Chains A and B, each alone.
Chain A
Amino acid sequence: DVQLVESGGGLVQPGGSLRLSCATSGFRFNTYWMHWVRQAPGKGLMWVSRINSDGSGTKYADSVTGRFTISRDNAKNILYLQMDSLRADDTGLYYCTREWEASAQDKWGQGTLVTVSS
């Protein structure tokens, strides 16, 4: 079975940093593009970032560019999101997703909650 398990969320003060991890299993991780998607409490989904299969290409939403860094370890089957200079509006549930056909996200983790507050 395909599994995506996020971790690393928590409470952090504005300006602080967190590193999220997404441990994957059940599929050939090094052949898929991967994404992070977040959901603020009671709100819709917002795409955050994506990385190609070998890690050589990344893309970010405007609101996180320069503050967040996506990366992956294909030897360990883990996706990461380094989040720096965190702001209150970064608060939300962060999902790790797998890109399938036609840019659709066919597998989602259960999410890890990030709360940015003083």
Chain B
Amino acid sequence: QSALTQPASVSGSPGQSITISCTGTNSDVGSYHLVSWYQQHPGKAPKLIIYEDTKRPSGVSSRFSASKSGNAASLTISGLQAEDEADYHCCSYSVINTLVFGGGTKLTVL
């Protein structure tokens, strides 16, 4: 049950786009269409922003999008805003019926 691999930090200026990667294995990310992404502001609980690899729950801004290819998933935030500054976590279902998270990525809006 090794954690998925995410960059520790990314940054971007307001209005720009950034992408956060999430790398797993054939036993998790690459096995199902079950990657989800969560946004977590300091001192707050995580919030679901992407599910089933690429889908956005109702109410989540269309500036958030995601993709997946093989064992690698990614989250893209376009038109970066100050309120996007947060930690982002990816998560995948695994072949042994567990969930595995990434280490989290801190997004800084410059």
Contacts and interface: CB of A to CB of B under 8 A. Distances in A.
Q: Do chains A and B interact in one complex?
A: yes
Contacts of A43: 103-104
Given A44-B89, A109-B45, A111-B45, A104 B51 contact: yes
Interface string A3-47: 000000000000000000000000000000001010000011111
B3 interface: yes
Contacts of A102: 33-34, 36, 51-52, 55, 93
Contact of A44 (B1, B48, B93, B103): B103
Contacts of A103: 34, 36, 93, 99
Contacts of A59: 97-98
Contact of B51 (A35, A44, A101, A111): A101
A105 interface: yes
Interface string A80-118: 000000000000000100001111111011110000000
B45 A47 contact: no
B3, B48, B57 — which one has the most chain A CB atoms within 10 A of its CB?
B48
Given A103-B93, A104-B48, A110-B45, A44 B34 contact: no
Given A101-B52, A102-B52, A111-B45, A47 B100 contact: yes
Contact of A100 (B33, B45, B48, B93): B48
A37 to B, nearest CB: 8
Nearest to B47: A108
Contacts of B12: none
A101 B56 CA distance: 11
A61 B99 CA distance: 9
B75 to A, nearest CB: 14
B89 A104 contact: no
B52 A44 contact: no
Contact of B1 (A61, A106, A108, A109): A61
Interface of A: 35, 37, 43-47, 50, 59, 61-63, 95, 100-106, 108-111
6 contacts: A44-B89, A104-B51, A104-B91, A105-B36, A106-B48, A108-B47
